[in-house]
């Protein structure tokens, strides 16, 4: 029995490879031959060949972003979230194995159809957004850190033409950040309508940037472009001899005109007004309002540890960088670093309350935490979600709230502690580090306390059973 799989996630950093590893271990345990292709931030690795696919009994797609299915035609496809592949890999492998049986295949196909319809109704837009975010993140990270490097020479050093600071700002702000919204919009449209959606999506995103409607305008432009192309594909029928004109002329031209005119004359200005109001409100935010926003962003960052809710909060922070609003980004990164750091700390302070495997995972969590990879908390949450998830959400909420309260700012969208030494990249560096430290300590002691309660209950149950 041979199965092939493809894994990806919105960032292509941690979930992609954790899902691949989980599926490989589960397949080995069940005696199933598997090959897993990863579509991470560095591109496609361990790519499936035509022979691999032809020999496979079923295909597993563990996805957090769009995966084209053209090459899997005629194969039974098992679609799961990347989180499911990490948490329940054996169930996923069993489903793939059973799908070869005619009756099981029929049942799974029917369930998949119903599930796909429900997902499209409930979470389709979110999946398209996450696909756009996954392609946007490399531009944001490269641009943001390059901008931060330009600040080494002073906050306004880039204004002097011909200097290295000016060159760095041109690379980061003038190029990478200028592409951020068009790429976001283009790949949202791609997720909806495949390749024909990219051109109108990027054009709409570029117009959103020029008009001043920012990332919110880019999201709307991408959605409009994607659904417009999808509508045109379904409703324009051409003679077979002219079908070749659809992807290269008719679809991009009509959809780009529609989206472009809509952005310029109808949607762009109202969204610009909303973005301007949001920017001013966030810039002037202080006191209890800042604390509440920071806490909400913190809760979202820890809730699914790199999943869709986490990425919505991250996208919010990243999107505001283009509007020169830097406090939310600081809160987001502080809250994202806290879960793995807090759990790593807990494995040291409360060592007896963790398994040997969790203590080993704690060593890796230190590195993942300081690198702003929230997924480092997943092994702990998967093993004990009832105690771990409330603990990391509480710690992240505290870190996010304190970051906003202290007025910390962050001009780089990623990098963890590695961007902290860059001069002027972080505003109120002392307060920022304090927020991360306190959030991590809160996480560690809360999870330690909850695990101690669980341990006492388990001991009481064991005593009762032994007496019985």
Q: Are 404 and 291 in contact (CB under 8 A)?
A: yes
Instruction: Answer yes or no: do 129 and 236 share one domain.
Output: yes
* Domain's final residue, options 247, 273, 299: 273
* Domain's final residue, options 251, 273, 295: 273
Instruction: Answer yes or no: do 80 and 161 share one domain.
Output: no
pLDDT tier for residue 247 given thresholds of 50, 70 and 90: confident
CA atoms within 13 A on the CB side of 196: 22
Instruction: Answer yes or no: do 308 and 382 share one domain.
Output: yes
Give the angle 305-296-219 at the CA atoms, nearest 5°.
75
Instruction: Answer yes or no: do 404 and 453 share one domain.
Output: yes
Least confident of 51-60, 119-128, 177-186, 277-286: 119-128
- The active-site residue out of 6, 9, 332, 404 is 9
DSSP for 391-459?
HHHHHHHHHHHHHHHTT-EES-SS-GGGGTTSTTTEESHHHHHHHHHHHHHHHHHHHHHHHHHHHHHHH
pLDDT at 118: 47
The answer to the question of residue 112 being in a domain is no
Number of structural domains (the chain) is 3
On the 0-12 / 13-18 / 19+ scale of CB atoms within 10 A, 74 is exposed
pLDDT at 404: 94
- Is pLDDT above 80 for 308? no
Instruction: Answer yes or no: do 18 and 147 share one domain.
Output: no
Catalytic (active site) residue 9: yes
Instruction: Answer yes or no: do 423 and 291 share one domain.
Output: yes
Instruction: Answer yes or no: do 330 and 462 share one domain.
Output: yes
The alpha carbon of 468 is separated from its chain's Cα centroid by a whole number of angstroms, namely 50
pLDDT tier for residue 400 given thresholds of 50, 70 and 90: very high
Instruction: Answer yes or no: do 334 and 305 share one domain.
Output: yes
The answer to the question of residue 282 being in a domain is no
Indicate the angle between helix axes 327-349 and 308-321, nearest 10 degrees: 140
CA atoms within 13 A on the CB side of 378: 24
Mean of pLDDT values over 409-413:
85
Instruction: Answer yes or no: do 242 and 345 share one domain.
Output: no
Instruction: Answer yes or no: do 264 and 411 share one domain.
Output: no
The answer to the question of residue 108 being in a domain is no
pLDDT at 215: 83
Instruction: Answer yes or no: do 427 and 331 share one domain.
Output: yes
pLDDT at 346: 94
Mean of pLDDT values over 271-296:
84
Q: What is the CATH number of the domain that holds 93?
A: 3.40.50.2300
Give the angle 72-75-76 at the CA atoms, nearest 5°.
120
Domain that holds residue 204: 125-273
The answer to the question of residue 443 being in a domain is yes
Which residue reads 């830097």 in tokens?
326
Least confident of 267-276, 366-375, 414-423: 414-423
**Bigger pLDDT: 242 vs 10:** 242
The answer to the question of residue 106 being in a domain is no
The answer to the question of residue 115 being in a domain is no
Mean of pLDDT values over 314-322:
82
pLDDT at 457: 47
Instruction: Answer yes or no: do 349 and 463 share one domain.
Output: yes
Distances (CA, A) of 119 to 104, 111, 141, 232, 258: 22, 12, 30, 23, 28
Digit-coded pLDDT (tens) for 120-178: 444 578 778 878 887 888 888 888 888 888 878 877 788 888 899 899 989 988 898 88
Which residue reads 């002097």 in tokens?
160
For 314-370, the three-class secondary structure string (H helix, E strand, C coil) is HHHHHHHHCCCCCHHHHHHHHHHHHHHHHHHHHHHHCHHHCCHHHHHHHHHHHHHHH
* Domain's final residue, options 273, 303, 331: 273
């Amino acid at each position: 029995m041979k199965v092939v799989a493809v894994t990806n996630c919105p960032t292509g950093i941690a979930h992609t490879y954790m899902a691949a590893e989980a599926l490989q271990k589960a397949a080995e345990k069940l005696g199933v031959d598997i090959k897993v292709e990863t579509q991470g931030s560095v591109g496609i690795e361990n790519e499936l060949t035509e022979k691999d696919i032809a020999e496979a009994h079923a295909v597993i797609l563990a996805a957090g972003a769009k995966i084209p299915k053209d090459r899997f035609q005629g194969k039974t496809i098992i679609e799961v979230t990347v989180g499911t592949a990490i948490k329940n890999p054996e169930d996923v492998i069993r489903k793939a194995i059973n799908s070869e049986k005619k009756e099981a295949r029929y049942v799974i196909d029917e369930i998949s159809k119903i599930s796909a319809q429900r997902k499209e109704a409930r979470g389709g837009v979110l999946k398209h957004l996450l696909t756009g975010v996954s392609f946007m993140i490399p531009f944001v990270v490269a641009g943001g850190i390059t901008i931060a490097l330009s600040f080494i020479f002073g906050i306004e050093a880039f204004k002097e033409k011909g200097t290295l600071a000016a060159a760095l700002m041109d690379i980061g702000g003038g190029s990478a950040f200028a592409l951020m919204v068009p790429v976001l919009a283009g790949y949202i449209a791609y997720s909806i309508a495949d390749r024909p959606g990219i051109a109108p999506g990027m054009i709409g995103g570029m117009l959103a940037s020029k008009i001043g409607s920012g990332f919110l305008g880019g999201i709307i432009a991408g959605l409009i472009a994607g659904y417009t192309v999808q509508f045109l594909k379904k409703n324009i029928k051409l003679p077979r001899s002219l079908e070749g004109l659809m992807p290269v002329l008719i679809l991009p031209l009509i959809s780009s005109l529609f989206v472009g005119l809509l952005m310029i004359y109808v949607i762009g200005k109202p969204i610009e007004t909303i973005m301007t109001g949001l920017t001013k409100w966030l810039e002037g935010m202080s006191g209890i309002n800042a604390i509440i926003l920071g806490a909400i962003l913190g809760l979202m960052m820890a809730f699914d540890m790199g999943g869709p809710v986490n990425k919505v909060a991250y996208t919010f922070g990243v999107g505001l960088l283009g509007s020169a609003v830097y406090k939310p980004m600081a809160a987001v990164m502080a809250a994202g670093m806290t879960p793995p750091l807090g759990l790593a700390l807990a494995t040291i302070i409360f060592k007896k309350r963790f398994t040997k495997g969790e203590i080993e995972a704690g060593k890796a969590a230190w590195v993942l935490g300081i690198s702003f990879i929230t997924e480092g908390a997943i092994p702990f949450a998967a093993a004990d979600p009832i105690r771990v998830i409330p603990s990391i959400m509480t710690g992240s909420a505290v870190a996010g709230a304190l970051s906003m309260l202290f007025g910390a700012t962050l001009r780089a969208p990623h990098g963890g502690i590695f961007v902290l030494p860059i001069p002027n990249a972080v505003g109120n560096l002392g307060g920022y580090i304090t927020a991360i430290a306190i959030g991590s300590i809160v996480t560690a002691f809360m999870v330690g306390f909850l695990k101690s309660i669980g341990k006492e209950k388990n001991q009481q149950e064991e005593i009762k059973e032994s007496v019985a």
